[in-house]
Amino acid sequence: MNKQQIQFLSNLCFALGFLSIIGSVMIWFSAGGQLGAPGADAVADIKRAYAERFGIFVGLWAPTFLILSNRLHHYSEKR
- Note the pLDDT tens digit of each residue in 8-52: 999 999 999 999 999 999 988 887 666 655 556 777 788 888 888
Q: Which residues contact 62 (CB under 8 A, 6 or more apart)?
A: 17, 18, 20, 21, 24
The CA distance from 29 to 24, in Å, is 9
Domain count within the chain? 1
CATH number, residue 37? 1.10.287
The domain in which residue 65 lies consists of: 3-78
**Global pTM value:** 0.80
59, burial (CB in 10 Å: exposed 0-12, middle 13-18, buried 19+): middle
pLDDT computed for residue 33 by the predictor: 61
